[in-house]
Amino acid sequence: MAHLRKKRQTANIETQSGGTVFDRIEEANNGNISQFYQGDIVLDPELKEYIKTGGNSRNAVRGRKRLWTSRIIPYRVPSHMGHITSNVRVAINEFHRTTCLRFVNYYSGYHKNYIEFSNKDGCSSRVGKRYHSPGKQIISIGPGCNNVGTIIHEIMHAIGFFHEQSRMDRDKYVRINWENILTGFSDQFDRYSWRTIDHLGVSYDYQSIMHYDRLAFTKNGEPTIVAVGNENMEFGSPSRRLSSRDILEINALYDCKATTSYGWATWSGWTPCDEKCYRTRERYCYHSGNIKSCGGNVNGYGVEIQRVKCSSSICPAPIDGHWGRWSDWGSCSKTCNDGIRKRFRRCDNPSPAHGGKNCQGYERGQEMCILKRCHLEKDDVDFENSRLGMWGNSNTDNLNWNFNRGFTSTIHTGPDKDHTNGQGFYLYVESSLTRPGQRAELVSPWTPARRGGQCLKFYYTMYGSTMGSLAIKLQLSNGKNWLIFYKHGNQGKGWKKGMGNINVPLGLSYKLAIQGTIGQAGYSDIAIDDVYIDPGLCKCQDDYYTCHIWATKGECSANKKWMRENCKRSCNVCGAISATTPPPANCEDDSQYKGQCPGWAKIGECQKNPAWMKLHCRKSCKICAPGVTACKDSDKRCSAWAKIGECTKNPLWMKPNCKLSCKQC
């Protein structure tokens, strides 16, 4: 029911501000986007088969039968869609001003094929004219789609254009970050076949109104598509109108130079030679009503197709190999702390042939994966099993931080899962049924300052069009306070890492307050997860829990550049840092973990996780500080018993009571 309520809340939104054209389309189609190809394309069976069997790509439909060969495009806006009329007129005038295409009102009985605007399927359209039979084809301008840029984008599909980044040559210009794409949506980044579309001799257009946004189909708020050589480049038309190259392509596809008389349009370019060493080209008859008036070998759609044998000098041509898409990442090698995950790809898109070059690079890839911590300190919390740890909701605010897993109750805001494995809990502030400025505050207890300072680490999401703010206040026992973290406004989808320095003079105490403030009701859900406090200031922290193990193995020297960047504390990049927790004076496990330490030691945690275990489970790991005097026998007969094997025969009594004789320390 939560998602039904989400849809009702957005049903009356007709315009949105901000974002690229495709960003708006993705936002409007959210929840139904899997029914479309590449976010907003409605495929007919023939085009679906072309795409399935194709290999190389451009961005305008190659088959001229899908064009509006008269250059006249009838359209109809039904009475129930009257609210989009003004924006449709502005969009149409853009085509009239820059191209030879002419949109006219549809008249029943006179026009056979036409476009009808509807609101049934989000923002969507088929590609090209419905050539195989007379009748209407739909451009859907649903809730959230009624803006000029989106209407132009969908009309571009209807006159025969695909998305710009689907060109076969796109990898020269952009890189696809497959690891950031929503699971199950990798096919939304397919490249098309040269059999399907034609680039019309126009170079790649980063500003095309048909280009994906950098964050299209992102699962974590990170870019899914970036420009080669400039990863911060924004895509799409800044004006949300046709780019100069969009106009060139339309005029080339529809042969707009030849508008003064009827006759044959210019031939398309030759296709590359196919696997049988044939290539084709097409032209269409621009006519007043008789598709055969141009003469030649015209087919029933007014199109002439030439298919010729390629010469031996160009076929078979060498085919350089190109990598297929990366597989999804495999599962992490560990279940907590950090590990390794792997993926693979194949050199089959296409495979090298006829002496072409092999793919450059590696078939397999791997990266670190960060999970929840295996062991939590008393000031750490991951919110599992509805635990707040040392934190608590303030009784002086308006709202509470609440536990949740999965989606929040309002679409287009909040996370869709927890930070690590996607199955756990997080804390969030629900923004529906609230007032602007209301605040939820999570507070810690008073804590003594630690030598060398500390670093608060956490993950947060602030996704939503009316987002408020997230602040973390540090309050000292002497009355002073200041913010150690502050973010305001929409930060995009996905979990992001936050940090704040706890730099308090020794002798004072401090407490923290995590404050989530509502922007406008409805789209301001704020969430946090995995809140940790680690020794040392934030500028000198380890990015991975395993850093201390790598450091003991000499990696700070062997892999100096990476380790100094990612393992600053373990590699002592910032200079010596005093331990915040002195080693215990006796050989005992910490009281907080006394019940668990023996079990962890039995399963090898002393070796797998030595830094933490040797600090907190000293007894179970048989580690004692030099000069410890607590290592003694409690009975003067222990030595004799040990000599006759009682340490082995009766370990449960002997080891705790005859530590010295049984060599337990």
Contact of 546 with 370, CB cutoff 8 Å: no
- Tell me which of 218, 237, 254 is where a domain ends: 254
| Pair of tokens at residue 169 | 């040559």
CATH for 338: 2.20.100.10
Statement to judge: residues 119 and 166 lie in one domain: yes
Whether the predicted pLDDT of 627 surpasses 60: no
Coil, strand, or helix at residue 227? Answer: strand
Statement to judge: residues 390 and 485 lie in one domain: yes
Range from 61-70, 81-90, 496-505 carrying the lowest mean pLDDT: 61-70
Range from 229-233, 377-381, 397-401 carrying the lowest mean pLDDT: 229-233
Which tens digit of pLDDT belongs to each residue from 316-349?
Answer: 778 788 888 788 788 888 888 888 999 999 998 7
Statement to judge: residues 203 and 61 lie in one domain: yes
Residue with tokens 């995590």: 514
Q: Is residue 540 part of a domain?
A: no
Q: Is residue 314 part of a domain?
A: no
- Tell me which of 254, 277, 296 is where a domain ends: 254
Statement to judge: residues 448 and 525 lie in one domain: yes
Return the bridge partners of 455, or none. 501, 534
Contact of 234 with 199, CB cutoff 8 Å: no
Q: Is residue 641 part of a domain?
A: yes
Q: Is residue 395 part of a domain?
A: yes
Residues 6+ apart with CB under 8 A from 636: none
Whether the predicted pLDDT of 7 surpasses 50: no
Statement to judge: residues 202 and 227 lie in one domain: yes
Q: Is residue 550 part of a domain?
A: yes
Please state the separation of Cα 11 from the chain's center in Å: 26
Residues 6+ apart with CB under 8 A from 338: 332, 368, 369, 370, 371, 544, 545, 546
Range from 60-64, 350-354, 635-639 carrying the lowest mean pLDDT: 60-64
Statement to judge: residues 137 and 242 lie in one domain: yes
Statement to judge: residues 506 and 596 lie in one domain: no
Binding-site positions for Zn(2+) read 153, 157, 163
Contact of 199 with 253, CB cutoff 8 Å: no
Q: Is residue 40 part of a domain?
A: yes
Residues 6+ apart with CB under 8 A from 345: 323, 324, 325, 326, 327, 363, 365
Q: Give 375's DSSP letter.
A: S
Statement to judge: residues 474 and 566 lie in one domain: no
Q: Is residue 330 part of a domain?
A: yes
- What's the per-residue H, E or C state across 259-285? CCCCEECCCCCCCCCCCCCEEEEEEEE
Whether the predicted pLDDT of 12 surpasses 70: no
Q: What pLDDT does 49 receive?
A: 60
Statement to judge: residues 25 and 153 lie in one domain: yes
Q: What pLDDT does 17 receive?
A: 43
Contact of 274 with 227, CB cutoff 8 Å: no
Which tens digit of pLDDT belongs to each residue from 253-295?
Answer: 888 876 556 788 888 778 777 778 888 888 888 766 677 778 7
Domain count, the chain: 6
Q: Please tell me the pTM assigned to this model.
A: 0.59
| Pair of tokens at residue 26 | 């993705």
Q: What pLDDT does 115 receive?
A: 93
Positive or negative: CA dihedral 482, 484, 490, 494: negative
Whether the predicted pLDDT of 558 surpasses 70: yes
Statement to judge: residues 508 and 436 lie in one domain: yes
Catalytic status, residue 154: yes
Domain of residue 520 covers: 380-535
Statement to judge: residues 181 and 240 lie in one domain: yes
Whether the predicted pLDDT of 62 surpasses 60: no
Q: Once rounded to an integer, what is the mean pLDDT over residues 422-443?
A: 91
| Pair of tokens at residue 88 | 């449709």
Statement to judge: residues 426 and 297 lie in one domain: no
Residues 6+ apart with CB under 8 A from 644: none
Please name which of 556, 460, 539 lies closest in space to residue 503, comparing C-alpha atoms.
539
Contact of 482 with 471, CB cutoff 8 Å: no
Catalytic residue among 26, 27, 94, 154: 154
Q: Is residue 600 part of a domain?
A: yes
